[in-house]
Amino acid sequence: MEPQSSIKDQIDSVSKSTIKYIFKKLFIQLFLLLVYFVTLLYLFIKDTNKVVNGPPASDDGGYFLKTLFYFLMPPAVLYFSYKWVKGKIIKQFIQQFAEVNNFSYSESENLSNLDGNIFVFGKDRYYINVCTGYFNNLPVRLFNYYYRVYSQQNVKKHNSTVFEIQFENLLPPLMLLVDHHDFGGSMTVNFKKPAKLKLEGDFDKFFDLYTEQDLEIEVLQVFTPDFMIQMRDNWKNFSIEFTTNRIYIYSYKLVLNRKDLQQMFELVQFLIKKLEPVLVRMQGSLKETLAVFSK
């Protein structure tokens, strides 16, 4: 039974709504699973011959494998049931955001034109729960991004909620990275000559700022002390990247509660309102610098 999307049942937290749905809609199944597990445990303990003295000599290990299977099956069913319901709740959660903000929703799209650093490294990449709309006449997209990073030791799964803003003007390439964020690879991989900028005050405790060499002046016209105060006080958990004419806002993990998603969208609105006049003023010098840099 798939959770039904309804704006009347506003989802504030995906995790809480998932648990609530499971206990409300799947209570009988959970109860039967619990009865099964308790009965199995009782029979296992009762069989003292196999518990205390071990299985008969003729047993080839099949008894232990079957017992292990029966004991692992209930938690496995619980785990996959939770994952399935949570995926449906996340879908409904994003649909509600789209409805409230007059965005269109698509369960999946081909987003092959993404040019942020995070979309370069990793494998098994895919994008789901895509919302598309406008703010101040600029195209805005929201989506959940999943990928894996492989190393010799292990495979690590990553996921991020991403906002994309498309501007009409050129942007200076830069990466404002939250200190504790680890996206599984270099977030300056697209930069030819990355340079780390020194931030004023205590901003270095929260962020690292990177750009291309020779673009420091243009970047600091955007990331003024007033701008960084706003970032530190309101959005210190989100990383920002500027590409040719797009801004990407990255969360370290999926954003799964309404308060944080709204906070992320407020950052989108702040960047559009704050940067449009600045970008218009700096287009001349930025074009000249980028033209020299690209040679």
Q: 164, 264 in Cβ contact below 8 A?
A: no
**pLDDT tops 90 at residue 141:** yes
Residue 48: pLDDT band by 50, 70, 90 thresholds?
very low
What gap in Å lies between CA 30 and CA 43, rounded to an integer?
20
- What are the residue boundaries of the structural domains of the chain, listed by start? 14-100, 105-293
Please give the full DSSP string across 38-89, using - where no structure is assigned.
HHHHHHHHH-HHHHTS-S-TT--SHHHHHHHHHHHHHHHHHHHHHHHHHHHH
Check residue 58 and give its pLDDT.
52
Q: Within 10 Å of residue 26's Cβ, how many Cβ atoms? A: 16
Global confidence as pTM: 0.82
**pLDDT tops 70 at residue 277:** yes
151 vs 116, 156, 158, 184, CA distance in Å? 22, 8, 13, 10
More confident residue, 63 or 17: 17
Poorest-pLDDT segment among 37-41, 129-133, 181-185:
37-41
**CA max distance for the chain:** 86
CB-based contacts of 110-113 (< 8 A; 24+ apart in sequence): 111/141, 111/143
More confident residue, 190 or 239: 239
Q: Tell me the pLDDT tens digit for each residue of 166-180.
A: 998 888 889 999 987
Rounded average pLDDT over 182-206 = 84
What gap in Å lies between CA 179 and CA 38, rounded to an integer?
47
Q: Tell me the pLDDT tens digit for each residue of 218-266.
A: 888 888 889 999 999 999 999 999 998 999 999 999 999 999 999 999 9
Eight-class DSSP state of 153: S
Q: Residue 258, Cα to own-chain centre: how many angstroms?
A: 14
What gap in Å lies between CA 79 and CA 73, rounded to an integer?
10
**pLDDT tops 80 at residue 54:** no
Report the range out of 69-78, 148-157, 215-224, 241-250 with the highest average pLDDT.
241-250
Rounded average pLDDT over 93-97 = 96
Check residue 294 and give its pLDDT.
63
| Beta partners for residue 248, in sequence order | 164, 241
